[in-house]
A and B are shown apart, each in its own frame.
Chain A
Amino acid sequence: MDVLGKYSYWVAIIVMMIGFYVVIDRGNLLKKLVGLNIFQTAVFMLYISSGKVAGGTAPILYDGDAPFSNPLPHVLILTAIVVGVATLALGLALVVRIKEAYGTVEEDEIQAIENREEDAA
């Protein structure tokens, strides 16, 4: 099995796991969003690398024949990037509001506050 020849997939998998680990491990809500974005970016790399044709160029009209890369993954990922930006913006907006409401962006502190309220009620 050709392990090194598929290095683009290995890069995508490693970046994906780094992002996923940050999402799970960090208690800081901002850092979680950073991890989430890294996680999504890895998927973009996975898609784009799948569209690459060796020696291929951009699929724009020109004279003569030449192999060109598959443009569809790029288009799909353009959409996915926009979704990612929207998710990040919304996530950050929520973090700002959480900071204003709770005075902290640490998950365990927020949960402690919520538990105290739950007991008081």
Chain B
Amino acid sequence: MREHLILRLVSKFLIPFIILFGLYVQFHGDFGPGGGFQAGVIIAAGCILYGLVYGLEALRQAIPQSIVITLVALGLTIYAGTGFVTMMLGGKYLDYQWLAHDPAHGHHYGILIVELGVGITVAATMLAIYYGFAGRGEPTDS
């Protein structure tokens, strides 16, 4: 793809907006349509577009492969960990109202944190799948 000037320029122009849109979907998810699943996929799509146009190696430099697995685990830990925090604060598992003095605020924070975990895991999982398949054919260093 290196010789396709238009593709390279257009995607260079688009990728920041794709990721920005992903962040909007992520953090506006509690007021409108959206949430972690969709946002994660959009952000991962932006990253994968970069990988497709500029090559796998360029993407590996931007987002190292070893970090991706850690992010998958981290997102899930944030989600499940929120449940443990609410239990320690005296509530049931994932009972968000204990996260703040005002139950409504608690629900607000709870869903934001949980969706953040979902978003991280989904984006990282998509990238991990892409790395897993795209990196398969090439000769590896080891």
> Which residues of A pack against B, CB within 8 Å?
58, 60, 78, 82, 89, 92-93, 96
Contact = CB atoms under 8 A, between A and B. Distances in A.
Interface of B: 32-33, 37, 129, 132-133, 136
From DSSP, what is the main secondary structure of chain A's interface residues? helix
A97 to B, nearest CB: 9
Contacts, number: 11
Contacts of A93: 132-133
A58 B133 contact: no
B77 to A, nearest CB: 18
A78 B40 CA distance: 14
Contacts of B33: 58, 60
By Cβ-Cβ distance, the 8 closest A-B pairs, closest first, are A89-B129, A96-B136, A78-B37, A93-B132, A82-B37, A60-B32, A92-B133, A96-B133
A96 B136 CA distance: 9
A58 B32 CA distance: 11
Contacts of A58: 33
B125 to A, nearest CB: 8
Nearest to A81: B37
Contacts of B37: 78, 82
